[in-house]
A and B are shown apart, each in its own frame.
Chain A
Amino acid sequence: MSRIEGYGRVDRSRTVTVTVDGTEYTGHPGDTLASVLLAHDARPLGTSVKFGRPRGIGAAWVEDPTGLVQIEEPFPEPMVLASTVEITDGLVARGVNGQGRLSDVADVARYDHRHVHCDVLVVGAGPAGLTAARRAARDGLDVVLVDDRPEPGGTLTGTETIDGRPSREFVADVVAELAADPRVTHLQRTTAFGHYDDGLVLALERRERGASRQRVHRIRAARVVIAAGAIERPVVFEDDDRPGVMLASAARDFLHRHGVLAGREVVVFTSDDAAYSAAVDLHDAGAAVRVLDARARVPEVWARRCAERGIEVSADTQVHGTLGDDRVTAALVGAERREVPCDLLLVSGGWNPTVHLFTHVGGRLGWDPALGAFRPAAPLPGVEVVGAADGTLDLAGCLRQAGGADAPHAEEEHGEPTMVLWRTAGEPARQFVDLQRDATVADIARAVGAGMRSVEHVKRYTTIGTAHDQGKTSGVVASGITAELLGRPIEDLGTTTFRPPYTPVAFAALAGRARGDLYDPVRTTAIHDRHVAAGAEFEDVGQWKRARHYPQPGEDMTAAVLRECAAVRTGVGILDGSTLGKIDVRGPDAAVLLDRLYTNMMSSLKVGRVRYGVMCGNDGMVFDDGTVLRLADDRFLVTTTTGNAAPVLDWMEEWLQTEWPDLRVRLTSVTEQLSIFAVAGPRSRDVVGAVFADLDVGNDAFGFMSWQDTALDGVPVRLARISFSGELAFEVAVSSWYAPALWDRLIEAGRPYGITPYGTETMHVLRAEKGYPIIGQDTDGTVSPHDLGLGWAVSRKKPDFLGRRSFARPQNQDLLRKQLVSLLPVDAATRLPEGSQIVHLAEDGRLPAPPVPMLGHVTSSYHSAALARPFALALVKGGRERIGEVVGVPVGGELVAAQIGDTVLVDPEGARRDG
């Protein structure tokens, strides 16, 4: 047990029990899994990924390259750092041998998202961050302060003095001042993991309580202050991966934060001053300590402090290796590899400023030879880097830099500069650079030998910096060693790119609320509940839920659709067509605009009449189709396909606003204002006539492709004789407020005629039997109106309209273009799968050896009640010339013979549309 009385900020009055690798350990609130394991001398934790070498805890926070655990309870999580897991009762974990594993149970936790706006975001609540936040708050600004650790204060241990008082009191004072300010939001356990354009920072909050487990804050800040501190850098030597080798700052952290002494017999190997404070503190807590300083000169002040304590300090001394099995037992010192016994080997090779958030937004780094590290080289607008993140490593300097006029005060410390030491002499194949990847100096040498000259290439060749820690301790060291091997200065090489996220973020946290039913909006029509009550099966059409068919007990889709089709062809059916896009086109130039957008002439349409229209892009390919009602000289109602409602409106607005602003036309979407029901079938006139008794629905008074306004109980209703089935049909449009009531009224009136609600699948069959294409199903953006047999809808009178010029391009004149035709399987039984390829049918009826020339593909395929057989629509090269020809369609390894025919299979004379 290495828990030291009088140290640490854990709550010793309470005990927490956790299980690691089957053993129960007790700790206290405030402990991490790492500190509990160290307190019980329980290591190593697992084995390395490639060589199976033992792995222990190497650092006290997110920079640890080795101390990975798999969390089993309360919720399975793979490959989490023991140093970042706050313990809770019942926590179960185990060390990771090689790789972790993904959970095989669903994550039941909730993840929240918040958009936050502020004047100043401060990242890091160490001395610099707290001071910067206080300064901004005192300026009256909206401040957000985030810090990734459980408590504020950063690296302050409590031994420092700020403004003449213990540093922890300074922290408490600032935190209290910020808490009292309503314009300040202060979040601990919140990692700013990505920095993006225009002051956007994403931060992940690990929540202790509340409905959600984690919360992603999308913080938009006018100014971002990065006070993220610095990460200590190791020195690479032989067998530096052995458990018990640790960053010097980490041992100090475990002592002051958790009251845990990570070793009793300690060797500190350093090339900078900061490790001395670890040596002194660990000595004072009861460890036997000796310091090996790689530098020729030992800093005076630290030499004195060590001498006072009897800590032996050797200058100009380097560790070349270690001994031990599962844990370090001795350091091998100097070229002679003298054995110095120890159970903890602390290493410090200087500090790398935590510049991740600075570089995410394009901040440039430069090598600072005095600092021996990369730091921000040029300012970024809206971004400020203060404290250790900017390379200001001393406390007095941090406070001064962050504090402005009323900066807190700390004593200056004067020491010796850091010596840049990437590695000591030894066997490169056992000098580990990235401990998680088992990547060594020998791997870097191989990369350089293979011709790699850029650190980005070395990274990809060696995998250094690609593990969970993203090279927080290994990245710059790898640059340094590469530079040495190449004989070039490190400033020429730079660092690899730091990319978000700074620490791993669960996909679930990024998804937030957009999971399950909320993943994508579900759009429903005004009578959705009527469909549900009628037992509809729904299909997704874009974001809409549309009733696909209404199976009765015992019916599958095929049976239901055949029944619904028969009802429309012989009696009456009703369809909810409310998802169709609807655009009100108003203004003196409305007809001019539509003439330019549609292939047909719309200006000649008479008020009271309806015309089917086709829209093409400039490339002459069909973009959308629909009906156009002329409501007045200066007013049209345009319908679009369901999926194209927004794109068509956008398309029309684009031309109107950017190309033809002189046209006096305005466009309004009324897609959801109006609900539309299609009442179709030979008995539809009876039903409509019964509901709208005042209206003459006879063919003479109300002809095909005309519309009439009426009212029902004072509510305006518009009817139109439009048919998408070839049958006598009426489209009934009403304000969506009244849609449920009107639907009920039509169903009620249709009951004597056996009115049958039908869905989109039935609608598709009925229109396909008539050869009406569905844009987006029978077309794919490479199909012209002529290819679809819609040449009749292309005006020859208009001088121009969108797409017209492209019709004359040679590509569009090609006689072998794919054309829409019908396909009837010769066996009258096989339903050809949609998307099937079409090929020549050889004499032997078998598929020839590849390559097999493709003639086209099946676009729509159904069983037909009217034809009593399956049929299909297909795009076939030169299809209309091939009518009568029998082709082959590979279906499940067999070649099915099918005859090409005209697209109109039911009622080619059009005798049924008038009833």
Chain B
Amino acid sequence: MAETLTARHPLEGHRDQLEALSAALAPTLALELGELVAAVDLRVDPGSGGADAVEQVVGGPLPARPDTWTALPAGQALRLGPDEWLLTSAAARPEDWEFAVDEAATAHGGMAVDVSAQRTVLWVRGSAARELLSTGCALDLRPRSFPSGRCAQTLLGQAAVLLVAHGEDDLQLVVRPSFAGYVVDLLVDAAREFPPSRHRKETP
């Protein structure tokens, strides 16, 4: 019958629009779709040794401090709560990633659940990236307060988002796919505040 079942990015329909906008606003602003990557929600008691076991499997350290993230060989480990992490991998298949992390965690009373399709990634880049996000996000996004290595679950407009700092001009926005269209519309609308040329920084 048909060819192989293919995955589709939740924001596929916005790709052209975002590419055009990013080209017009460079280097002030760029909005880029993140790749589809495997992701699990890991729940494990940090005192149980489960975190250590998971670190062995994912090949990197889990962040110890609240609202921070660490890099994994092919992904990220983001601390979402006292006993909760989001672990991503661009190399593994979702079901394999879930199985591997889950196996390590369950031995210590933890668990991992595949949430690969539960989250969509949008990159917000450019010299005005933080300013753009500040149109809808109440967090203190000054680079000193939200430096690279930090992450936060918060609100952007009326959508729940996970905001991840990779650099002063480089931020990652993780949002549920059903809200992704709203978030893109909101940011594209806000981007009209940033003229293509002669942009100057207006707020800290």
Contacts and interface: CB of A to CB of B under 8 A. Distances in A.
Contact of A712 (B5, B177, B189, B202): B5
A722 to B, nearest CB: 21
Interface string A642-679: 00000000000000000000001010111111100000
Interface in B9-26: 10, 13
A668 B111 CA distance: 10
B135 A738 contact: no
Contacts of A116: 134, 203-204
A158 B180 CA distance: 55
A220 interface: yes
Contacts of B179: 521, 523
A22 interface: no
B14 to A, nearest CB: 11
A748 B5 CA distance: 13
Nearest to B191: A211
Contacts of A525: 178
A661 B135 CA distance: 39
A93 to B, nearest CB: 28
Nearest to B84: A666
B179 to A, nearest CB: 6
Contacts of B190: 112, 513
B116 A735 contact: yes
B203 A738 contact: no
Contacts of A712: 5
Interface in B97-119: 109-111, 113-118
B122 to A, nearest CB: 15
Contacts of B197: none
Contact of B193 (A112, A220, A744): A112
A369 to B, nearest CB: 43
Nearest to B111: A586
Interface in A122-173: 142, 144
Nearest to A715: B5
Contact of A210 (B134, B176, B193): B193
Nearest to A112: B193
Interface string A719-754: 000000000000000011111111011001100000
Nearest to A217: B203
Contacts of A94: none
B33 to A, nearest CB: 13
Nearest to B115: A673
B115 A211 contact: no
Nearest to B183: A521
Tell me if B's interface is mostly helix, strand, loop or mixed: loop
Interface string A212-223: 100001101000
Given A112-B135, A117-B145, A521 B8 contact: no
Interface string B35-46: 010000101000
Nearest to A212: B193
Contacts of A211: 192-193, 195
A517 interface: yes
A327 interface: no
A526 B8 contact: yes
A71 to B, nearest CB: 24
Nearest to B176: A672
Pick from A110, A524, A712 the residue with the most CB of B within 10 Å. A524
A670 B113 contact: yes
Nearest to B118: A673
B126 interface: no
Interface in A572-599: 584, 586-587
A529 interface: yes
B5 A673 contact: no
B135 A118 contact: no
B91 interface: no
B114 A673 contact: yes
A522 interface: yes
A513 B1 CA distance: 47
A736 B10 contact: yes
B109 A664 contact: yes
B142 interface: yes
B147 to A, nearest CB: 14
Given A672-B118, A735-B94, A118 B204 contact: yes
A641 B138 CA distance: 31
B157 A117 contact: no
A115 interface: yes
A386 B155 CA distance: 36
A735 B95 CA distance: 10
B2 A670 contact: no
Contacts of A514: 157-158
B137 interface: yes
A518 interface: yes
Given A114-B203, A115-B137, A521-B158, A745 B1 contact: yes
A586 B113 contact: yes
A117 B140 contact: yes
Contacts of A112: 135, 190, 193
Nearest to B110: A666
A584 B178 contact: no
A131 B197 CA distance: 34
Contacts of A522: 181-182
Contact of A518 (B94, B116, B176, B189): B189
B204 A737 contact: no
A112 B110 CA distance: 45
A6 B195 CA distance: 39
A513 B95 contact: no
A457 B117 CA distance: 60
Contacts of B189: 513, 518
Given A212-B193, A526-B8, A670-B118, A513 B135 contact: yes
Given A116-B204, A218-B138, A672-B117, A666 B111 contact: yes
A118 B144 CA distance: 11
Contact of B6 (A212, A517, A664, A738): A738
A713 B177 contact: no
A744 B181 CA distance: 22
Contact of A115 (B13, B116, B138): B138
A189 interface: no
B57 interface: no
Contacts of A520: 158
B186 interface: yes
Contacts of B195: 210-211
A221 to B, nearest CB: 11
B145 to A, nearest CB: 7
Nearest to A635: B111
B53 interface: no
A745 B5 contact: yes
Given A116-B204, A526-B8, A513 B113 contact: no
Contact of A524 (B4, B109, B113, B181): B181
B186 A185 contact: no
Nearest to B95: A716
Contacts of B193: 112, 210-212
A464 B187 CA distance: 44
A520 to B, nearest CB: 7
A183 interface: yes
Given A668-B43, A738-B5, 15 more contacts: A115-B135, A117-B142, A211-B195, A218-B138, A513-B157, A520-B158, A523-B178, A526-B8, A666-B110, A668-B41, A668-B115, A672-B178, A712-B5, A741-B8, A745-B2
The 4 closest A-B pairs by CB, nearest first: A737-B7, A523-B178, A736-B117, A521-B182
12 contacts: A110-B192, A115-B138, A211-B193, A524-B178, A544-B178, A664-B109, A668-B113, A674-B117, A712-B5, A735-B94, A741-B2, A741-B6
Interface of B: 1-2, 4-8, 10, 13, 36, 41, 43, 94-95, 109-111, 113-118, 131, 134-142, 145, 157-159, 176-179, 181-182, 185-186, 189-190, 192-193, 195, 202-204
Interface of A: 110, 112-118, 142, 144, 183, 185, 210-212, 217-218, 220, 513-514, 517-518, 520-526, 529, 544, 584, 586-587, 664, 666, 668-674, 712-716, 735-742, 744-745, 748-749
